[in-house]
Amino acid sequence: KAGVTQTPRYLIKTRGQQVTLSCSPISGHRSVSWYQQTPGQGLQFLFEYFSETQRNKGNFPGRFSGRQFSNSRSEMNVSTLELGDSALYLCASTPGGRTTGELFFGEGSRLTVL
C-alpha cells in the first residue's frame, strides 16, 4: 500500500508570493491533517479535513487555507508569503472516524521563503 505522498518535496518562493502544496493520502483514508514544523515552534497543527469538510483548524492566520477533494486528496495554500512561513509542511492521513488518533505522515514539503 502506497504511503502518504506530498508534492513538491522542496520549493523556494519569495516574500509576497503564494504557494500550493499537495497531499495524496493512503488509499482508503478519508481524513487529512496538515502540520507546520519549524525549529522554533516545533510541530503545529494547521487544519484537518474529512470528506471534503474542514473539521478542525489551528491557530494560524487566514493566509493559510486548505481544501480536500472528493478523492480525499488535499491541498493547502499559503498566500502573501512571509519569511516566517519557511518550514516543513507535513501532511498526515488516517482512515477517519473513531480511532486511536494514529496519524500516517508523509515526508513533507520543505518551503523556503526568501
Partner 1 sequence: GEDVEQSLFLSVREGDSSVINCTYTDSSSTYLYWYKQEPGAGLQLLTYIFSNMDMKQDQRLTVLLNKKDKHLSLRIADTQTGDSAIYFCAEIPPGAGSYQLTFGKGTKLSVIP
Alpha-carbon span 112 to 114, nearest angstrom: 6
Alpha-carbon span 87 to 60, nearest angstrom: 14
- Shortest distance, CB of residue 106 to partner 1, whole angstroms? 5
| Beta carbons within 8 Å of 77's beta carbon, 6+ residues apart | 18, 19, 20, 21, 64, 65, 66
Where in 18-47 is the site for partner 1 (CB under 8 A)?
Answer: 31, 33, 35, 42-43, 45
Alpha-carbon span 21 to 111, nearest angstrom: 9
52-91 footprint of partner 1 as x/- string (CB under 8 A):
---xx-x-------------------------------x-
Query: Between residues 20 and 104, which has the closer beta carbon with respect to partner 1?
Result: 104
Return the C-alpha cell found at 41: 515552534
Among 24, 68, 74, 94, binds partner 1 (CB under 8 A): 94
- Shortest distance, CB of residue 98 to partner 1, whole angstroms? 7
Under 8 Å between Cβ of 89 and 35 = yes
User: Does residue 48 interact with partner 1 by CB under 8 A?
Assistant: yes
Binding site for partner 1 (CB under 8 A): 4, 31, 33, 35, 42-43, 45, 48, 55-56, 58, 90, 92, 94, 98-108
